[in-house]
Structure 1
């Protein structure tokens, strides 16, 4: 089998594609993995070949953050902004996939860019598989509006709402997608999440239900194993023995506090009260010292920090905007300190400098499978990948949703007593404290542990099974048409 995998979007959208590409390669298949240009290096860095298509997702996120219509009260203005954003870069992505597609037997895509990838598959007459990280297909089990009041509406309203949403999306993309394609091309929607999080859904959708594409062996753990400190006092993320590297979309160099400084650190001031010695002695494993640089092993430092004190509260917002990073870190530090808890912050794409002191550790990314079980709570944006990782770890969650499917995960887990949720735009120190109080209840911890015990972790393998089965079905279908 020769498979073209097209996974655009943020890192959370790309990770399942990378894991699926590796799984199919290990089964002997030929795979072309196409990712957004800014995520190709991420795949290559983890040993999975990839090629670019479409536009930089960092640019799309920036466009969304700066478009005032997304914050407008008028839902029509928000809808117009969303549909325009969905169309942006589609012609370029379509051209890239058309150039890549010939010679492949199947096309697979994530939810982002699903329509354009399917149009390419139909144009060359090969089967298509969409990997859904959330139940967006019309159904009556999931409220189309992610609120408590919407959950009380009749199921027929939910199904109608999802159908209208699908039609609106198709209409928004129709000007930039080809029409009159072969409707007989076999296709499947693989449901890559745990349907039991949405009671009644399993009976609503045909599946297949593969489960969350969990990174069970840590393939996608962060490879930024070092921090380089130069004589002029700057700190950059690096790997031992290599030059400094970019942490998109923020710059790599940040001022590091002086040995005696207690000022907070950040993009203009600093985000942590720490010093160069904190990296290399108390928590860090010193790897290189010369006249130019000092390099410390962040993985070792984080492990030592986790082992050195009480279980922390984990906070990570992935590629989402956290607003003013200095105020954000100050708020988190104050809330955790008031609770007598340490803070572990995965800064992701936020413009926050790395560093470690007794009470706070800031790193770029973490290995969720290794770190989350050592935390008392996980505060995050509600991306499907982070939600799944926290479910697997059995840790109570506070989901502060920003966009897309995130509020649905927040509401779903809150209804099941596994999390508390709020829109990120409403997050304050007082609200975060109240939400952490809710998930600190013993019954929430018990429910989270019970859910973790039953969570399947073979989602990547079952997704690969579904792709192979689709191709087998397509071959039988083709043979039947030729007879």
Structure 2
């Protein structure tokens, strides 16, 4: 099988694509991995060759933040800004994918950019596998509005709402997507029983977090695509992140997280590389070999910290944000481990605070007493796997849904990041510091499945064309 994997978006979108590419290569398939230009170095730094397609995702995020229309009082201006955001980068993505797709048997795409990949796959006459990191298909289980009150709304309303959102998304993209019938038929040697066999939507999360969902969506459900063996924590990224290993977090004699009253102180076999254009690479200021050692020593030198990380999300004024988080941790007698992600926060370590670019969640989170983050699917999964209670401060997209889902199950507390204050964070940390929340988090972690990447690879393989030599004279597969 020759597979084109196209994963645009932030690092959280790219990481599952890199892991899936690695798994398919290990099975003997040929893979072309295409990522947003700014994330190609993330893959190649770990020995997985990749090519750029579409636009720089960090630049797109900066453009979104700089667009004053999103803060306008005029709803028409906000709507126009949203439409522009939905369409941004789509023509560039399609143009690049059209150059890449010839010679491939299947196209695999993430949620971001799924529509562009679907057009290119249809034009080329090859099947498409979409990797969904959240249940966005119409269903009656997930509240269409991520709010407590929405849980009381009848399921039929949720299904209708998700359908409306899907139609609105399609209408927003219509001006930049070609219309009409596919130019070629899917090249199956054995025709599929129905047209839907040409497309698979891989549900790459745990449906148990949304009780009843497995009965409503066809799947396949693969579980979260986690980095089981720490592959992405090795080499370049491990040096940048300061990944650690060691014993689980010590919750202290009182068993909680502290409170305001607790003041106690690069090429691989099978990889197809077809460059489109030159990519500018940058090196992190913290990508030095001693960074990992420094963080290990810091973690070993004191009590278990509170982890804070917002990935690629905007944290507003970095100095004000850091000051607020530091003050909360100090009041609770807890140290702070801050992963700056794409925020402009200067790395550094002192006795009470460690600031690094990125961390290996699988290694670090079990050493922490709480995880405060934006609610991206990858970070959410990592915290669930580690059994650490969470405070999800959602910014956009699927993040508020994860916050509400985990809060509903007693695994987290949530608040919109725009409403986050020091006092609110104190309150939410109090809420998740109970023995009952810790028990639930530990119980979920004990049953966490780690074969999500391999199961996603299984699903992709089902779309591979069957070659005539594998079919015997009676028309049977071996």
- Equivalent position to 1:194, from 181, 197, 206: 206
In the TM superposition, residue 73 of structure 1 has moved relative to its aligned partner by: 5.7
Using structure 2 for the length normalisation, give the TM-score. 0.84
Contact 1:354 1:363 in 2 (8 A): yes
Query: Residues of 2 paired with 1:466 and 1:75: CA distance?
Result: 42
Q: Match of 1:231?
A: none
2:227 matched to 1:215? yes
- Matched residue of 2:39: which SS? helix
In the TM superposition, residue 317 of structure 1 has moved relative to its aligned partner by: 0.4
Query: Residues of 2 paired with 1:411 and 1:150: CA distance?
Result: 10
In the TM superposition, residue 432 of structure 1 has moved relative to its aligned partner by: 0.4
Q: Match of 1:283?
A: none
Contact 1:119 1:181 in 2 (8 A): no
Structure 1 residues 79 and 208: alpha-carbon distance in aligned structure 2, compared to 1, 3 A threshold? farther
Structure 1 residues 57 and 475: alpha-carbon distance in aligned structure 2, compared to 1, 3 A threshold? farther
Structure 1 residues 312 and 71: alpha-carbon distance in aligned structure 2, compared to 1, 3 A threshold? same
Query: Residues of 1 paired with 2:97 and 2:351: CA distance?
Result: 49
1:408-465 deviation digits (Å, cap 9, x = unpaired): 0000000000000000001110000000000001100000000001111100000000
- Equivalent position to 1:414, from 407, 413, 417: 407
In the TM superposition, residue 83 of structure 1 has moved relative to its aligned partner by: 2.3
- Give the structure with the larger strand fraction: 1
2:454 matched to 1:461? yes
Q: Match of 1:234?
A: none
Count matched residues: 419
Query: Residues of 1 paired with 2:374 and 2:57: CA distance?
Result: 17
Q: Match of 2:217?
A: 205
Query: Residues of 2 paired with 1:226 and 1:213: CA distance?
Result: 22
Poorly superposed stretches of 4+, deviation over 4 Å: 72-77, 472-476
Q: Match of 2:239?
A: 225
Structure 1 residues 64 and 168: alpha-carbon distance in aligned structure 2, compared to 1, 3 A threshold? same
- Matched residue of 1:93: which SS? helix
2:355 matched to 1:318? no
Query: Residues of 1 paired with 2:179 and 2:6: CA distance?
Result: 20
Contact 2:376 2:399 in 1 (8 A): yes
Query: Residues of 2 paired with 1:427 and 1:89: CA distance?
Result: 31
- 1:87-126 matches, cutoff 5 A: 87-126=87-126
Contact 2:232 2:238 in 1 (8 A): no
In the TM superposition, residue 181 of structure 1 has moved relative to its aligned partner by: 2.9
- 1:67-146 matches, cutoff 5 A: 67-72=67-72, 77-146=77-146
- Matched residue of 1:17: which SS? helix
Q: Match of 1:276?
A: none
In the TM superposition, residue 59 of structure 1 has moved relative to its aligned partner by: 1.1
Contact 1:377 1:398 in 2 (8 A): yes
Measured on the aligned residues, the alpha-carbon RMSD in Å equals 2.3
Q: Match of 1:447?
A: 440
In the TM superposition, residue 470 of structure 1 has moved relative to its aligned partner by: 2.2
In the TM superposition, residue 223 of structure 1 has moved relative to its aligned partner by: 2.2
Q: Match of 1:290?
A: none
Structure 1 residues 207 and 475: alpha-carbon distance in aligned structure 2, compared to 1, 3 A threshold? farther
- 1:357-376 matches, cutoff 5 A: 357-376=350-369
- Matched residue of 1:471: which SS? coil
Query: Residues of 1 paired with 2:422 and 2:177: CA distance?
Result: 46
2:398 matched to 1:402? no
Structure 1 residues 324 and 375: alpha-carbon distance in aligned structure 2, compared to 1, 3 A threshold? same
- 1:3-22 matches, cutoff 5 A: 3-22=3-22
Query: Residues of 1 paired with 2:462 and 2:162: CA distance?
Result: 27
- Equivalent position to 1:299, from 292, 297, 304: 292
Contact 1:186 1:474 in 2 (8 A): no
In the TM superposition, residue 334 of structure 1 has moved relative to its aligned partner by: 0.7
- Matched residue of 1:348: which SS? coil
Q: Match of 2:251?
A: none
Which is worse superposed, 329-338 or 180-189? 180-189
Query: Residues of 2 paired with 1:149 and 1:211: CA distance?
Result: 28
2:422 matched to 1:429? yes
In the TM superposition, residue 246 of structure 1 has moved relative to its aligned partner by: 3.1
Using structure 1 for the length normalisation, give the TM-score. 0.83
Query: Residues of 1 paired with 2:309 and 2:422: CA distance?
Result: 16
2:305 matched to 1:246? no
1:245-269 deviation digits (Å, cap 9, x = unpaired): 534xxxx59xxxxxxxxxxxxxxxx
In the TM superposition, residue 77 of structure 1 has moved relative to its aligned partner by: 4.3
Q: Match of 1:2?
A: 2
Contact 2:240 2:357 in 1 (8 A): no
For structure 1, the residue ranges without an aligned partner over 5 or more in a row are 228-243, 254-286, 288-294
Query: Residues of 1 paired with 2:458 and 2:159: CA distance?
Result: 29
For structure 2, the residue ranges without an aligned partner over 5 or more in a row are 186-194, 242-280
Query: Residues of 2 paired with 1:172 and 1:427: CA distance?
Result: 31
Query: Residues of 1 paired with 2:402 and 2:359: CA distance?
Result: 21
Query: Residues of 2 paired with 1:428 and 1:38: CA distance?
Result: 32
Q: Match of 1:44?
A: 44
Structure 1 residues 101 and 312: alpha-carbon distance in aligned structure 2, compared to 1, 3 A threshold? same
In the TM superposition, residue 76 of structure 1 has moved relative to its aligned partner by: 5.2
Contact 2:411 2:440 in 1 (8 A): yes
Q: Match of 1:239?
A: none
